[in-house]
A and B are shown apart, each in its own frame.
Chain A
Amino acid sequence: MRNERRSQEELFKLFYGKMLAVCMRYMPDQDSAQEVLQEGFIKVFEKLSAFDYKGSFEGWIRRIIANTAIDAYRKSRKDPYLTDDDNDFKIGGENPMLEKEEEEIVELKGEMALEAIQELSPAYKAVFNLYVMEEYSHKEIGEILGISEGTSKSNLAKAKMNLQKILKEKFMNID
């Protein structure tokens, strides 16, 4: 189906929602997420014949889309207009006491989680996604993002603290 538009359309529509959510976790806005999603789907269509049916098809697509998003994030760090400064756009302070409040966040909905992740700084967001969602180790994250293992750990801790604060401020009163 490499060049069959109808089949490509069906596949695109089938996985659009889930894969856009993957891209949204890495990208700053929906437009750039859509851009990455399109790039990812082009790769999916190009590599479709390489799928070996050994694992989940959705998982295979998800991996391609996530890798495309990670690549886009890495490229964006070279853009002079996009900051990677940890202090930029950071929500909330770095209060370690917040760690104790995490039990309060229950039954978190997907859109809330996504909105909270979106508010993280790009550097925190990338580490959080790679560690929590993609299950990379800090060593692997360091290699992917070109940072030290220690920075990866530190960014993850700060990302979690900020997420707690964001969730608490924005969603604790929302069912």
Chain B
Amino acid sequence: MKNGIEENIKTSLQGYEMPYDKNAWTSMSQRLDAVMPITPKPTFGKFFIGGAAIVGIAVTTYVMWPKEKTENNIVAKELSTITDDNDQETINKTIKESAPSTVTNAEKSTTKTENATQQVAIPRNRTEQLAPNVVPNPPANNANNTQLSTSNTSNNTNNNIPEIGQGKEIIVPTVDNLCLGDQTIIKNENDLALYILDPNGAKTKIAANKAGSFSGKLEGKHEVGVIENGNFKSLGAFNVLSLPKVEFTIDDQNIYEQGIPSIALKANSNGSSYQWKFENQSEKVYGKEVNVHYFKKGTYDITLTVQGVNGCQAVAQKPLTIREDYNLLAVNAFDPMSSDNRKNQFIPFALTQRNVDFNMIIIDPKDGAVIFETNDATNTWKGVDKRNGQLVEKNQPYVWRVIINNPIRGEQPEYKGTIIRL
């Protein structure tokens, strides 16, 4: 049972909306570019149209076929499920089959070919990548062939390179563009081997009904196809994209920008976005040139992720060493009798430079009493004990303590030190 204040606060906050910050989307967008880049897609629009036309013709033929003929000659068959070894995705496909037709020897050798019926497979998605594209003189150097590390998706292993079955649709795996070094799983759901032809002409084989891991190790266009009459026949392609150069410099000097320790960082590369991650700080910072603030001495990893114009990202990391703790740039002695305004009063220097909400107290360590207190950087300690209005003893240390009410990211809210009255 909620009582008054709970209900009151809850009611007041329900539907409460903060004003929109016009820069919010810019920042969000940059972050999305870093974590959810819009991957450039291969342009296979014309192939998609072709594929769609084939599917359309198949469907139209099925619908328009005379009823009695259909009953005699058309067999509706639900293929057994194909299980992906990698993600256990099960895809149920219902395939309409046409009347019996010629079957190649290779097809006869597979267990999926039943009673010489021709399978008209419907490519599952992105058929635009899969339309035939014959390569006139494909390299046929078997010595360059690479066998993928594969896992069986059925028992239909075909060791020989089969010819393409007449009139048979080939399911060409969907392969999105990769960034250099990326890996992807490629499944061959056909009863014949597929090949990936890299820009150097080397072929990687994906055996029939197998799936394997492919690494993008070479930049450029990779074609997916089959061997037909001893030649490579391209059925689709994907690109392995280059990575952006990533390099950055760390300014050696810890500058105190408005009293705050600040190290300048600069990316020396050209990309579409730059994301910085600083060890011990959860906030990510975006920009080609940024500053990082560390308050404690130590060595921290600075990580820069650059996203290139093609959407690929590269990461570089460097250590940054902070040599001393930040303590609000406070001096440790002052002389209230001095005529020099810089020496005759005490307040940590950073408090006079920063736009900060703070509270400072001076404590007499002999009895723990607070002898001065301020939250105004212009109201400095002149060495007077507020209890008696007298100057404190000479050559004695007094403890100062500052609480920052609005610390910046990564900053501890409390500082303390000692100050000696000379």
| Interface 9-residue window, one of A8-16, A49-57, A143-151 | A8-16
1/0 per residue, CB under 8 A from B, across A31-68: the answer is 11011001001100110000000000000000000000
A25 contacts B3, C-beta separation under 8 Å: no
Check B27 against A113 for contact (C-beta < 8 Å).
Answer: no
Chain B residues with CB below 8 A from A32, complex form: 282-283, 409
B64 at interface by CB-CB < 8 Å: no
Could you say which residues of chain A place their CB within 8 Å of the CB of B29? 5, 9
| Contact partner, B17, options A8, A18, A109, Cβ 8 Å | A18
Question: A106 CA to B8 CA in the complex, in Å?
Answer: 7
Q: Which residues on the B side are within 8 Å of A132 (C-beta)?
A: 2, 6, 9-10
With A13-B25, A42-B36 as contacts: A105 and B6 at CB distance below 8 Å: no
Asked if A81 and B412 make an inter-chain contact with CB atoms under 8 angstroms apart, the answer reads yes
B167 cross-chain contacts in A, Cβ below 8 A: none
The answer to whether A8 and B9 touch across the interface, beta carbons within 8 angstroms, is no
A residues near B25, Cβ cutoff 8 Å = 9, 12-13
Give the total number of A-B pairs whose CB atoms are below 8 A apart: 111
Interface residues on A, range: 35 or more
Q: Within the assembled complex, what's the spacing in Å between the Cα atoms of A109 and B17?
A: 11
Least CB distance from A166 to B in Å reads: 11
The residues in B between 19 and 37 inclusive whose CB is less than 8 angstroms from any CB of A are 19-21, 24-25, 27-29, 31-32, 35-37
Decide if the interface of chain A is mainly helix, strand, loop or mixed: helix
**Complex alpha-carbon distance, A25 and B14, angstroms:** 12
For B24, list chain A residues within 8 Å (CB).
12, 16, 34
> Considering only CB atoms, which chain B residue lies closest to A156 in the complex?
B6
A172 at the interface (CB under 8 A from B): no
Cβ of A95 to closest chain B Cβ, rounded Å: 14
In the complex, the answer to whether B18 meets A24 with C-beta atoms within 8 Å is yes
Contact residues in B for A117 (Cβ distance below 8 Å): 9
Q: Which residues of A contact B35 (CB under 8 A)?
A: 42
A102-B5, A160-B6 as given contacts; A113 in contact with B13, CB under 8 Å: yes
Smallest Cβ-Cβ distance to A45: which chain B residue: B36
Cα-based distance from A47 to B51 in the complex (angstroms): 30
**In the complex, what residues of B have CB within 8 A of residue A34's CB?**
21, 24, 27
Interface residue B219 (Cβ < 8 Å from any Cβ of A)? no
Measured CA separation A9–B412 after assembly (Å): 35
* B125: interface (CB < 8 Å): no
From B4, B13, B412, give the contact of A110 (CB < 8 A). B13
Ordered by A's residue number, 22 sampled pairs between the chains whose C-beta atoms are within 8 Å are A5-B29, A5-B32, A12-B25, A16-B24, A18-B16, A18-B18, A35-B283, A46-B36, A81-B411, A89-B413, A102-B4, A108-B12, A110-B12, A110-B13, A113-B12, A113-B16, A132-B10, A133-B13, A160-B3, A160-B5, A160-B6, A167-B5
Given contacts A42-B35, A112-B12, A113-B16, 20 further A-B contacts (CB under 8 A): A2-B36, A8-B32, A9-B25, A13-B20, A31-B409, A35-B282, A38-B31, A41-B28, A42-B31, A46-B36, A72-B282, A81-B412, A102-B5, A105-B5, A106-B8, A108-B8, A113-B8, A113-B13, A114-B16, A117-B9
- The 3 A-B residue pairs with the shortest CB-CB distance, nearest first, are A110-B16, A17-B17, A108-B12
